[in-house]
């Protein structure tokens, strides 16, 4: 692969994201209002690696188990009013290819659906709760890589990242690694925070990622991310 091709694909991915290629446009409500990130409570325990006083969103349901909106190697709670939808990577890639006039459709689909060693499996949309962003779940094939290795590869594949800070955490019998970092969008000409965690299971690695349109949206959605992290279990 040519040097810089990965970053070029990632740029295409963010263009496609703004256009709503996967599951819909991440547009704001017409009246421009923003709901709170669901009722949240202050957390006091820090044994799982969470920052003291981190807020946790009100539970709206659980995904991951057989029969849920997204069937995954893990289960976790999603915030109230957030909507989960499974991503069929194969079907999405085929559709993008058929819609494109050349290889651009496949290029965009590949950039959107695959990041490092993992593939998009589920999107939890914050728009019904009044926010612009997603909690995305990525899964990979079983292998020998530990959670830190998987997460580092995931961040590296995004491109244009900096100031990554990794730390271990535990939840529901799982040991994982979490990262906070900055992503610089050439398209939007801005830098914003992102967060992700990774665990390994017998069915392969799982990455849960929280982005957001901008810094304000990212911070508003952190309680939903904390809820997912603290309720993470093996499916």
CB 50 within 8 A of CB 230: yes
- What share of the chain in percent tops pLDDT 70? 70
pLDDT given for residue 46 in this prediction: 39
In the prediction, which pLDDT does 25 show? 35
**In total, how many domains does the chain have?**
1
Lowest-pLDDT range of 50-64, 71-85, 163-177, 201-215:
50-64
CATH number at residue 214: 3.40.1000.10
Does residue 109 sit within a domain? no
Over residues 30-43, mean pLDDT: 38
Whether 197 is covered by a domain: the verdict is yes
CB atoms within 10 A of CB 50: 18
- Domain span including residue 121: 42-88+114-234
Q: Give a yes or no: residue 30 inside a domain.
A: no
Judge whether 24 lies within some domain. no
- pTM score over 0.75: yes
32 in a structural domain: no
pLDDT computed for residue 95 by the predictor: 62
Asked if residue 98 belongs to a domain, the reply is: no
> Is there a domain that residue 25 lies in?
no
Asked if residue 100 is part of any domain, the answer here is no
pLDDT reported for residue 44: 35
111 or 4, higher pLDDT: 111
Q: Is the pLDDT of residue 186 over 90?
A: no
């Amino acid at each position: 692969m040519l040097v810089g091709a990965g970053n070029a694909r990632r740029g295409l991915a963010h263009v496609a994201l703004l256009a709503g290629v996967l599951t819909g446009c991440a547009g704001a409500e017409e009246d421009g209002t923003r709901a709170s990130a669901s009722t949240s409570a202050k957390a006091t325990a820090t044994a799982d690696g969470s920052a003291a006083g981190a807020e946790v969103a009100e539970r709206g349901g659980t995904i991951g188990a057989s029969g849920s909106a997204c069937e995954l190697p893990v289960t976790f709670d999603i915030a109230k009013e957030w909507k989960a939808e499974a991503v069929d990577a194969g079907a999405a890639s085929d559709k993008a290819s058929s819609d494109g006039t050349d290889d651009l459709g496949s290029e965009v689909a590949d950039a959107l659906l695959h990041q490092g060693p993992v593939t998009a499996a589920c999107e939890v949309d914050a728009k019904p709760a009044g926010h612009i962003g997603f909690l995305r779940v990525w899964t990979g094939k079983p292998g020998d890589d530990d959670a830190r290795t998987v997460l580092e590869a995931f961040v590296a594949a995004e491109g244009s990242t900096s100031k990554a800070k990794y730390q271990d955490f535990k939840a529901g019998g799982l040991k994982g690694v979490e990262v906070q970092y900055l992503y610089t969008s050439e398209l939007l000409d801005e830098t914003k925070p992102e967060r992700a965690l990774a665990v390994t299971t017998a069915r392969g690695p799982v990455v849960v990622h929280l982005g957001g349109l901008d810094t304000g949206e990212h911070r508003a959605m952190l309680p939903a991310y904390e809820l997912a992290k603290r309720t993470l279990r093996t499916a």
